[in-house]
Structures are given as structure tokens and as C-alpha cells.
Amino acid sequence: GQTVGVLAVQGAFVEHERRFERLGCRCIELRQASDAAKPFDRLVLPGGESTVQIKLLHELGMFEPLLERIAAGMPVLGTCAGLILLAARVGNGGAGGFGTLPVAVRRNAYGRQLGSFHASAAFAGLEHVPMTFIRAPLVVEAGEGVDVLARIDGSIVAVRYGNQLGVAFHPELDDDDRVLEAFLAMGGAESARAFWKSAEAVRP
Ligand code: GLN
């Protein structure tokens, strides 16, 4: 099995760990700088509160080492707040994450009434997958080389760029492993491209 490093400073990290363990992975909780230096094959940035996560990443000395891993091509999954951490631009405050994924996002893009909802939509290569949204961000702009993997009512909710997979919904909360399995099948920057090329991306 693979070893998955899960950012465990705040948010839904335990839920991700349970799911990846069920899929045969070993999980390492990333809580301090020494954890970020441990060997792991993949990185998971869970949902939660992105502004708090970014602050803690810096305070705990994990920002630079994790950024280096992402930039070096380690496969990374950003779920909800994790997607905000990866985004190059955050339209409405809270920027200053890794910024390695060339997309612009809008935080808390669904109004108060629609803060949380469940939907189902086509996901590149997987047909329909269930999607749970909790005060989710929206991808409002996708840069060159970004594959759009899923949309809800025309709005982008999943993207891939090389080694980086960003989803606005919570694949760890629905009883469907396919998005998590697709992430585990993603290689580094180059092989990730080959993997997703075989999937029929949902084009902008
Ligand atoms: N609203 C949160 C943020 O802006 C994200 C919500 C989530 O991760 N479920 O960081």
C-alpha cells in the first residue's frame, strides 16, 4: 500500500484517513515540521477553514516543506479548503496558500441557504459521482493546462493540473471510493497527465 500524508492541523482529516486506510493505504498525520519531513507518497489537504489552515501551516513550519513537495510533483489532493490552499488566486479574501494550481476560486461561493447540499454530477472518466458540498469554493477561472473534471450547473467543481487534483466537494463523505481511487492512481506531474488523458475531461 501507499503512504498518504494527511494535513492534520484542522478540519476533516480523520474522515480522509479512514477512507484511505480502507483503500489499503497507510496514513501519516502531518501536525508539525518533523512530520512534513517523513517519507510519504501522496499529500492530502482536507476540508476545513482555509484561513486557519494557512496560518497554522506557517506557524508549525510546514508551509515551505509541503510547498516543495507539491512543486516537485508529489500527487496532491485538495478537498474544499484544500482546493483553496492550492489555488493561485482567491477572489474574495483568504489568499496566501501554496498557489501552485493555476485557478481562481471564490470562497463560500454558495449563499447561506445553500451552504451545504448534495448533488450528483458527471466526473471525467467516472460517470456520475455523488458530491457533498459544505460552504464550498467555486473555481471561477481555470488557467491553461488545467483540466476541468466536473461541473455543477455549469460551475467548475473539480480540476486537475499535473500532479494536483482539486475538488470543491467532499469525496471522503460519500459512500463512493472512485474519486479517491482515481487520486491514488495518479502519478507525479507527467504520469498524472497520461492518466487523466485517458479520461474524457469535461471541457470548459
Ligand atoms: N468555507 C471554507 C473555507 O473557506 C471551506 C469549507 C470546507 O472545506 N468544507 O476555507
Q: What is the pLDDT of residues 15-44, one digit of tens each?
A: 999 999 999 999 999 999 999 999 999 999
Q: Is the pLDDT of residue 92 over 70?
A: yes
Cα 115 to ligand 1 centroid, rounded to whole Å: 10
Which residues make Cβ contacts (< 8 Å) with residue 168, sequence separation at least 6?
80, 83, 133, 136, 137, 138, 139, 156, 157, 158
Q: Three-class SS of residue 143?
A: coil
Cα 57 to ligand 1 centroid, rounded to whole Å: 16
Q: Given the DSSP bridges, would you call strands 164-167 and 155-161 parallel, antiparallel or unpaired?
A: antiparallel
Q: Is the pLDDT of residue 196 over 80?
A: no
Name which CATH class applies to 3-197.
Answer: alpha beta
Rounded to an integer, the average pLDDT of 117-142 is 95
* Percentage, residues of the chain above pLDDT 90: 82
- Is 50 annotated to bind a ligand? Reply is yes
Nearest to 146 by CA among 137, 136, 156: 156
Nearest to 87 by CA among 6, 15, 11, 146: 146
**Cβ-based neighbour number of residue 108 at 10 Å:** 15
User: Looking at the DSSP assignment, which residues form a beta bridge with residue 42?
Assistant: 4
**Cβ-based neighbour number of residue 143 at 10 Å:** 13
Q: Which atom of ligand 1 is nearest to the CA of 133?
A: 9
Nearest-angstrom CA–CA distance, 173 and 132:
7
In this prediction the ipTM stands at: 0.94
Residues 119, 133 contacting (CB under 8 angstroms): yes
Question: For residue 170, what is its C-alpha cell?
Answer: 467532499
Q: Is the pLDDT of residue 3 over 60?
A: yes
Residues 130, 118 contacting (CB under 8 angstroms): yes
- Domain ranges (residues) in the chain: 3-197
Ligand 1 surroundings by CB, under 6 angstroms: 47-50, 80-81, 84, 107-108, 134-135
Residues 184, 178 contacting (CB under 8 angstroms): no
pLDDT band at 202 (very low <50, low <70, confident <90, very high): very low
Number of H helices, E strands in the chain: 7, 12
Residues 83, 98 contacting (CB under 8 angstroms): no
Cα 191 to ligand 1 centroid, rounded to whole Å: 29
Residue nearest ligand 1's atom 2 by CA: 49
Q: What is the pLDDT of residue 109?
A: 84
Cα 184 to ligand 1 centroid, rounded to whole Å: 23
Hey, which of 9, 50, 79, 170 would you mutate to test ligand 1's pocket, going by the most ligand atoms within 8 Å of its Cβ? 50
Q: Is the pLDDT of residue 204 over 70?
A: no
- Is 135 annotated to bind a ligand? Reply is yes
Nearest-angstrom CA–CA distance, 44 and 186:
13
Q: What is the pLDDT of residue 192?
A: 45
Q: Annotated catalytic sites, by residue?
A: 80, 170, 172
- Is 84 annotated to bind a ligand? Reply is no
